[in-house]
Amino acid sequence: MRILLTNDDGIHADGLEALERIAAELSDDVWVVAPEYERSGASRALTLDEPIRVRKVGERKFSTTGTPTDCVMLGVHELVTGKRPDLVLSGVNRGANLAEDVTMSGTVAGAIEGMALGIPSIALSQMGFYEPGTSFEASETFGPGIVKRLVELGWPGDVVLNVNFPNGPVDRITEVEVTRQGFRDVHVRHAERRTDLRGKEYYWMGFRMEKSSPADGTDLHALYNGKISVTPLHIDLTHMQTVRDLKGQLGGVPPKV
């Protein structure tokens, strides 16, 4: 199995090293194409207004000045030679990618680009890193087995699998739960106003570490309860109930004011 790795935390990220160790347990044909610098929150951004530079970091390992989407596209079409990858793994992200955050995540976007190119793709993220003692131990302990089992089972070609690992001692992680995407009932994103050394104001975007009250069966609920969450994501964002409701009200001749 030929595996292509990417991430959004950058080519030097500890999580990418963890992902390389996970992939090494599954195959000896592993390639890496990742951003030169951190591109967290890049979502599915594609670089169209400037050239993308590629740097060879090592054997079958490259960095680019582009986004995770750029990296996967370049990897599949240009940098991975001989044959196409059989699997794309994106991560391991430093922090969970849950609920509505998946629409902004560069980690999930890397997997989506793999899916769009017809390659089974999985995003992997590690909860924590705002808490003492956080590491990638849970991801590295359980990641190889989960990825192997998912590949054996297979999944639809238009679906991306989003895997999140809880923080804490691995001996307390005893369950994997297949979940649906949740939605927080608290607003965790915020902009903090600061002042630079010249007295000019600027803003720093960030997250408040507040837990919501998620429903049972969601990715949030699973992680809050120390479970590994596996969420099948679909790029079709259509809300079918609203489609059905509007069809009887808006179809036909376009309305005029």
pLDDT at 212: 78
Which two structure tokens, joined as six digits, stand for 255?
A: 């309305």
Query: Residue 144: pLDDT above 90?
Result: yes
Residue 152 has pLDDT above 70, yes or no: yes
Q: Is 93 annotated as a binding residue?
A: yes
pLDDT at 37 over 80: yes
Is the pLDDT reported for residue 252 higher than 90? no
Residue 92 has pLDDT above 90, yes or no: yes
- Contact by Cβ (8 Å): 119, 157: no
Is 29 labeled as ligand-binding?
Answer: no
Helix 137-153 / helix 14-24 crossing angle, nearest 10 deg? 50
Structural domains present in the chain: 2-183+213-250 (3.40.1210.10)
With residue 110 as reference, give the H or E element that holds it. Answer: helix 106-116
On whether 43 is known to bind a ligand per the annotation, the reply is no
Burial class from Cβ neighbours inside 10 Å (0-12, 13-18, 19+) for residue 161 reads: buried
Residue 207 has pLDDT above 80, yes or no: no
40 annotated to bind ligand: yes
Torsion sign across C-alpha atoms 21, 57, 77, 6: positive
- Measured between its terminal Cα atoms, the distance across the chain in Å is 59
Given a cut of 90, whether residue 256 has pLDDT beyond it is no
Count of beta carbons in the 10 Å neighbourhood of residue 167: 20
Average of pLDDT values for 128-138?
Answer: 83
For the segment 30-42, the average pLDDT, to the nearest whole number, is 96
